[in-house]
Amino acid sequence: MAQRPKLPSGSWLVAEDLLEKGDVEFLSELRRIHDADQLGSFAPTWFNDRRAASRRLLLQYLEQPLNCFRHESLVKRLFKLADASGDDEMMARFLVGFDRSLRRVKRKRFRYDWNTRQSWSEETLRVPFMTQVPKSEKHVRFDENSKLIVPRFIRPDRIVRLQLFTTATRQYLRRRAWRYFRKIGKSDPVRYISAVSTALQLYRDSDCASGLELIDNWGLVHVLFHDSQVLTSKSHHWNLSDGRSLGELKAAPAFLDAWKAHGGESLLQLVGNSQCRPIRQWAIGLLREYHSGAISGVTINTILKWLNSDDSELSLLAVDMLERSSERALLTTSDWIELTAKCNESALARVCGLVRQRVKPGDVSLVEIIRLACLRPSPLAKLAIDWLKEKPVSAGECQLLARASFAECEPLRPELVRLAMEKIDAVEKSSLDCRLEFLDSRFEDVRAVGWEWIMKSSILRNSPTLWQRLLESPYDDVRLKLVDVLERFKLGLEIEDTGLLEKPAAICKNASSQELLVRDRLDPASVRMLWATVLVNIHRGGKQKPGVIRSIVAMLESNPNELEQLLPLLRTALRSVRVGEWRTALAGLVRLIERRPELTSRVQVLMPEIVLQ
């Protein structure tokens, strides 16, 4: 019978040597040691070692999960020593560690009433079974990294909850840790504020990932919400009071008078340094209510740092501080601009209001205004648009205004684009390159406004260069509008200034000379590519495809030499499953044969599936 492999074990000689050197590897070696008697005897030695390196390693050990195999004696003796000697730093870590050791889960409990013969289910909260680190070697396995692997009868989703001590012992240790701070609060309020603040800075967002996990922190809830009517204290846990919800939870700490009298500085440190959002919200609430003087005394550098925070509550508090701060007069125009670009979006509207008061449009360059206007947040884009309205623009700056086509703020984008167009028109009436920037934008609403803008200019509207450039557009909406324009050119229609596509154009007997110039100078290959793109588009262009077919037929009537290039497009339309397209194509083909009988044989060769009689 094969022997079971021994558990990996650390070396006391190596651990003592690492501790003497103050090496952080001492913790890894210590966590591999599983001799309970040696660990228990080592506790007083380590506790009484007052060297800075040894003390640092002791605190780091207590901040790690309390789940090392056979470390019960070490942890419990360190706890008793810290409690007896009044070591606030160590007790703060025990408070946090024991709070993390218990987590309840939701379970369904099925009930049955024998009298009424009815069954139902109830949702309950309870601590899962078998969350204790086993004490026997036969129930423990370690992987190659010396991490604990539990036996197969423990579910995998409970491995992360393994902790030292039984559930009842952990519940007792949580109460004992809070009792230590409660005694301090009754005898020395100043020391209580300092000691509890040390513990509060050790909590993380992961400790309060849900509402249930928040109230499962026994000591933390006492510190933050001891007198709250929303929660009810049981012997081992906190529960919601009947008819209440966590959304009603507000700051109601134990020893509120101590926080009112001595908590200003500690609360400010918690606001800036805490890595747990509920604690930051709690501290902000107390600051607003009881320590407005402390808020007004924060330095401008700290305020700017908090404004850039990802925490919306912290950013809103920083805005309040900035509005009251006398140091804001020291901020330059560049400082305000940089602040708006980095500020949390929840506080951005109020910050932009302050910027309006402190910054004049003339002090901001056009480049900076356009950059801000193209950003996504609406308050920032609105501020930049208002500045742009008052900003004079020279002819050489038109290309800067064309960058408005990249604006990210969708609600304000059309307004910004129209304003940029007005500025361009005021200094350069016939600029083509700037206008084409808007038709090349990746945003459809910008292209729509740009199309209207171009159609208002009679010079540009009859420019062959414009239409030739538009033939290369990759956007369907531009190509479809271009198809309508080219159809009017081919049919000799007049393009009205009041709206090219919105109103029906009047039919003229002969096309104007400029229209003929446009029609004749366009690249035939590009026009054919445009028609082919529209015809094969299966998503859009249903209304424009008959117009493309009519344009192809008109082109063949006037220029039969392009039959080989254009007839395949007509054949594609004939094969369409849409009735309107193939009917138009068939009618166009018949019309072409009637008006150009000499093309019958060539059409029959190119389209053998069509029988011509």
Share of the chain above pLDDT 70, in %: 77
User: What's the whole-number mean pLDDT along residues 173-190?
Assistant: 94
Residue 570 CB: number of other CB atoms within 10 A?
24
Percent of the chain with pLDDT over 90: 22
- Rounded to two decimals, the pTM is 0.71
Q: Which of the residue ranges 5-9, 358-362, 425-429, 562-566 would you say has the lowest mean pLDDT?
A: 5-9
193 pLDDT above the threshold of 90: yes
According to DSSP, the residues that pair with 445 across neighbouring strands are none
Least-confidence region, from 52-61, 106-115, 204-213, 237-246:
106-115
Where helices occur in 205-326 by DSSP H, the ranges are 211-215, 218-225, 256-262, 264-273, 277-290, 292-296, 300-307, 312-324
Residue 332's pLDDT is 85
Domain ranges of the chain: 12-85, 105-162, 177-365, 366-461, 462-606
Average pLDDT over residues 409-424: 88
Residue 371 structure tokens: 């950059």
**Residue 504 in this model has a pLDDT that exceeds 50:** no
Distance CA(299)–CA(182), nearest Å, equals: 34
pLDDT at 376 over 70: yes
CB–CB of 131/165 below 8 Å? no
Sign of the CA dihedral running 71, 72, 73, 74: positive
Average pLDDT score over residue span 522-550: 64
Q: Is the pLDDT of residue 529 over 70?
A: no
Q: What is the CA radius of gyration of the chain?
A: 39
pLDDT of the residue at 145: 56
**Would you say residue 454 has pLDDT above 70?**
yes
Q: Mean pLDDT across the stretch 72-97?
A: 94
How confident is residue 177, by pLDDT bands cut at 50, 70 and 90? very high
Of 203, 359, 184, 340, the residue nearest 262 (C-alpha)? 184
* Digit-coded pLDDT (tens) for 277-294: 999 999 999 998 888 878
Please give the C-alpha separations between residue 147 and each of 32, 134, 150, 262, 342, in angstroms, as whole numbers.
9, 14, 10, 44, 42
pLDDT band for position 464 (cuts 50, 70, 90): low
Please, what's the largest Cα pairwise distance for the chain? 114
- Within 13 Å, how many C-alpha atoms sit on residue 190's CB side? 0
If one counts every other C-beta atom within 10 angstroms of the C-beta of residue 105, the result is 13
Average pLDDT over residues 585-603: 75
Mean pLDDT within 91-103: 93
pLDDT in tens, 321-364: 888 887 888 888 888 888 887 888 888 888 888 888 888 888 88
Topology of domain 462-606, CATH: Leucine-rich Repeat Variant (1.25.10)
The yes-or-no verdict on residue 568 having pLDDT over 70 is yes
502 vs 5, residue with greater confidence = 5
Angle between helices 264-273 and 300-307 (to 10 degrees): 40
Q: Is the pLDDT of residue 492 over 50?
A: no
pLDDT on residue 462: 59
pLDDT band at 310 (very low <50, low <70, confident <90, very high): confident
Confidence of residue 52 (pLDDT cuts 50, 70, 90): very high
**For all residues of the chain together, what is the average pLDDT?**
80
Higher per-residue pLDDT: 2 or 389: 389
Give yes or no for residue 1 having a pLDDT over 70.
no
pLDDT at 184 over 90: yes
| 138-157: pLDDT as tens digits | 667 665 555 666 665 555 55
* Predicted local distance difference test score (pLDDT) of residue 151: 61
Q: What pLDDT band is residue 525 in, cutting at 50, 70 and 90?
A: low
* Span 161-166, average pLDDT: 82
508 pLDDT exceeds 50? no
pLDDT at 375: 87
Supply 157's token pair. Answer: 């989703």
Q: Which residue has the higher pLDDT, 42 or 473?
A: 42
Mean of pLDDT values over 92-113? 88
Res 225: pLDDT:
93
CB atoms within 10 A of CB 428: 16
- What contacts 532, CB < 8 A, 6 or more positions away? 569, 572
Model pLDDT for residues 108-130, shown as the tens digit of each residue? 888 888 888 888 888 888 888 77
